[in-house]
Amino acid sequence: MKKLLFIVLLGFSGILDAQNYQITYQRSSNGTVIEGQEPIIVETNALLTKVYNKTKDVTVSSYPQEFTIIDRASTSFQQFAILSMDRAIYMKDSTTLAKQSFEYLPETKKILGYTCKKAKTIVNSNTIEFWYTDALKIKGAPTILGQNLGLVLEMVRNGNFVISAVTIDKIKTIRSNGLKTQKVDALTYKDLLWKSRFNTIPIFKDQVINFSNESKSNDSILRFANGTIAVRKVKFPEIKIGSQIFADVTEQSNGDAYDRTGSFFMIPTDKALSFLDGLKNGAKTLPIYTNGNGKEYQGVVATEHYNPVVELMRFFTPFGVKQYNYLELKDKTWAENVLYRQDISDLLPLLSGKEVWIGINIGNYDKGGHKVSANITIHSEGESKAQPTRIVPLFCTNNIMEMAGQEYGTMFNNEKGLEVSFTLDQPMKNIKLRYITTGHGGWENGDEFVPKKNTIYLNGKETFGFTPWRQDCGSYRLSNPASGNFGNGLSSSDYSRSNWCPGTVTNPIFIDLGDLPAGNHTLKVTIPQGLPEGGSFSSWNISGVLIGE
């Protein structure tokens, strides 16, 4: 493995003539040493101090790496970050060290044979205590905090997290680091360091989702349903089991003033027919589901030769954020956009190492529509609780192709509701149904505003039932400048709804289904859908996939 080539030397003047020490620190929590940690190393003398983590192996996988150089003469420090094999950045701070203040306390104790004094400070409501010695005539600490006290041998945060020195050794010199570095400001440093800790897969950037005959596809992004759907092919790297995956979408109005259903989704293409075929050739070319109510529902359930879309995230636009921020109200400062961010680690097998079609849709009839950006980020460090080995798409009644004639999810007006049959070629264990549900339609008597129970049946037996309902919609008022205000003092965006609010994500729920043997199975969803009122009708957007071992 190639090591990072250090090119430009940092000038450590006078290092060879000074008495140099290396102090090694370890971390502990609640009295127990933290396992698997990288020791903190402080190399210091009267002129400068270097602080870094001792890594076991400097490889590509160990980036980013940080270290700090404190210049004692100028009371300043430089913070360095090695972001990759060929990139390093640094920032300089000349004020922070001088601003630190401490309360000096009378207690003393011995650490590693040295008599230590005590100091204390409070940072962001955290009480931090320092034990430091003047015996060696040098200064240093395992963090930026406390660098000018003396040689800090122990730091205690809130009485339970401790960084303590375990060895103090004399060394010949403080090792210099040759770095080809780029100087940046402090905010840019933090931003670049943060972004280097995970892999960002850009999906859409400032993509307009609108309704217009002028909406056209290009070489990388396909547009469908008069511009209300954008789709592109994305290549994902191999993703380590246990990684966390997040989807994020940023939205703002580009003309449309209303709250709309949005979907960030993946199109399975592992069977003979896919939703992409329906986008290209029309909704009527997709498999038809009927339940006896006289309507035909296109592409909503899995069949032997077809898998429906898998929703990565269901989101709802607010009333006109950004475009209508000129509608002023006293003591209200409107948001500039809405960020939707959701953990989708449970869907890892659908993405890892694959080239897949990813799409985004916002149902609207406005020529300006909405502007969106979307990314998927992969975080390899840390453990995800969701580690499935198999995913089976079952249904999605969210009519993503609404503006191209796909029928609304009104199949819940009879006892059959939505029913899907599926075949497992091998047994599945610890199965969960990843279920997203939102109710829509009507005015005050429609299912959008009336709680309705969702009931799940597996192989004819009722397995789970609950009433999806959101009562926190008023929390998002500042994202809804164009929301209508009523005589009772409420705004439209305040009202509770069937599992959604204008400007929010609707989280999936995970329904335990146990183990299933190989063979044929049936899953059914029933909802007591409300009756039409004049030109208004109720519908339900539900989607579900099986996740199991």
Strands, E assignment, 397-427: 418-424
Query: How many CA atoms lie less than 13 Å away from 505 in the CB half-sphere?
Result: 18
Per-residue model confidence as pLDDT tens digits over 45-56: 999 999 998 775
pLDDT-derived band of residue 177, with 50, 70 and 90 as boundaries? low
Question: What's 296's DSSP letter?
Answer: -
Q: What is the mean pLDDT of residues 289-302?
A: 97
The per-residue pLDDT for 63 is 81
* Separation of alpha carbons 275 and 268, rounded Å: 8
pLDDT at 22 over 60: yes
- The DSSP letter of residue 30 is T
CA separation for the pair 169, 153 (Å, rounded): 13
**Cβ count near 347 (within 10 Å):** 22
> Do 154 and 131 meet the contact criterion of CB atoms below 8 Å apart?
yes
Q: pLDDT tens-digit profile of 116-140?
A: 999 999 999 999 999 999 999 999 9
pLDDT, position 4 = 42
Answer yes or no: are the C-beta atoms of 118 and 145 closer than 8 Å: no
Instruction: Tell me the C-alpha distance between 248 and 376, whole Å.
Output: 6
Q: Yes or no: say if 540 and 409 are a contact pair by the CB < 8 Å rule.
A: yes
For residue 198, name the pLDDT band (cuts at 50, 70, 90). very high
Domains of the chain, earliest start first: 15-192 (2.50.20), 198-548 (2.60.120.1570)
84, 60 Cβ separation under 8 angstroms: yes
Which has the closest alpha carbon to 225: 361, 334, 64? 361
Tens-digit pLDDT profile for residues 441-493:
977 789 999 999 999 999 999 999 999 999 999 999 999 999 999 999 999 99
Query: Residue 285: what are its φ and ψ, rounded to 5°?
Result: -85, -5
Dist CA 129 CA 421 (whole Å): 63
| Three-class SS state of 332 | coil
Residue 106, preceding bond cis, omega within 30 degrees? no
Lowest mean pLDDT among 205-209, 240-244, 378-382, 406-410: 378-382
pLDDT score for 384: 55
Mean pLDDT, residues 409-433 taken together:
96
Query: Average pLDDT, whole number, for the chain?
Result: 92
The answer on pLDDT for 251 being more than 90 is yes
